[in-house]
Amino acid sequence: MSNWVEDLKKTLTGIIKGKDEVVRMAIVCLVSEGHLLIEDVPGVGKTTLALGLARATDCTFQRIQFTSDLLPSDIIGVNIYNPEKREFEFRRGPIFANIVLADEINRTNPKTQSALLEAMNEKKVSIERNTLPLPCPFMVIATQNPLEYHGTFPLPESQLDRFMMHLRIGYPEYDDEKQILKEMKGLDLIESIRPVVTRDEIIKTQARVNSVHVDDSLYDYLLRIVDTTRRHRDIRLGVSTRGAQFLLRAARGHAIVDGRDYLVPDDIKSVAPLVIGHRIILKSRTYIRDAVEIVKEILDSIPVPV
């Protein structure tokens, strides 16, 4: 059933060395129909991950480089007058792809940002009177550069909320990095990737996520995590109900990726920092602390159900 997951994992870890966990979470995100926000410095493999994911899954891929002058129509598409047919016809924008890489999403203006985020949420595009469904599977991988603030439009919390996971790739380990330097194949490697899974298989697997069995005690565990973020002394804004829904869905996806049709506490615990981290706002006095660190601290304080 989920052997394609293993194949996909193997393929992707072949091109992004030593980042098994990142790859796994990206697949969890794909399986549970979520969108991914990758925040990291340039050159650690954000694009490689997105591109590799698209290639290995036999999906169409589009890349949108976000700039400050990008317009919503540059993403969604535009109606163009066809003089032969004497009517307007819709020319689809780059968003009509299975996997969309939105590079440096915080560089563009809020109007364009919200156009993308709306499409992400609804999985369809409305232009004038027409509503066009986006292809299935549909996944947006957005990247953000955390260091440059000049001329950027940071995403507001309500829009960060749309991303299921917020990942950080980080520098590779010493040995892995050495290996990368030795091979030095770059994009050629990605070109060589053969699809290991069909789109239909992905859709089928996605459909199974909702039928993952969740024991009642695990709902309590999840709610307790969510609830603790709401009353934590360093947190100003805790996780919303939508955040809790996302957490459950991601945990279910994690169970599927792990080859199970039932949820275990570990599913929740391992996705929680990635799903919750960007949904909480810290109190100003603790801005030095990292939200993910605090979430991990919370997770370490809550007993798992037995």
Minimum CB distance to another protein, residue 220 (Å): 6
Tell me the β-bridge partners of 81: 88
| DSSP β-ladder status, 77-82 and 124-127 | unpaired
Among 242, 266, 283, 287, binds another protein (CB under 8 A): 266
Stretch that binds another protein, among 128-136, 177-185, 187-195, 260-268 (CB under 8 A): 260-268
Stretch that binds another protein, among 83-91, 151-159, 192-200, 215-223 (CB under 8 A): 215-223
Among 29, 37, 263, 295, binds another protein (CB under 8 A): 263
Question: Does residue 159 touch another protein according to CB under 8 A?
Answer: no
Among 152, 224, 238, 240, binds another protein (CB under 8 A): 224
Question: Does residue 48 touch another protein according to CB under 8 A?
Answer: no
Q: Which helix (H) or strand (E) holds 176?
A: helix 174-183
**Quick one: DSSP state of residue 154?**
P
Nearer to another protein, 39 or 258 (CB): 258
Exposure string for 128-166, b = 16+ CB within 10 A, e = fewer: eeeeeebbebbbbbbbbbeeeeeebbebeeebbbbbbbb
Among 157, 173, 215, 293, binds another protein (CB under 8 A): 215
Burial environment of residue 295 by CB neighbours within 10 A (0 to 12, 13 to 18, 19 or more): buried
Nearer to another protein, 93 or 253 (CB): 253
CA distance 15 to 172: 12
CA distance 9 to 235: 35
Question: Does residue 306 touch another protein according to CB under 8 A?
Answer: yes
Among 72, 77, 93, 265, binds another protein (CB under 8 A): 265
Question: Does residue 301 touch another protein according to CB under 8 A?
Answer: yes
Nearer to another protein, 194 or 231 (CB): 231
Question: Does residue 237 touch another protein according to CB under 8 A?
Answer: no
Residue 302 sits at φ, ψ, to 5 deg, of: -105, 125
Minimum CB distance to another protein, residue 4 (Å): 22
Q: Are 113 and 159 in contact (CB under 8 A)?
A: yes
CA distance 257 to 31: 8
Question: Residue numbers of the site for another protein (CB under 8 A)?
Answer: 213, 215, 218, 220, 223-224, 227, 231, 233, 260-266, 269-270, 299-304, 306
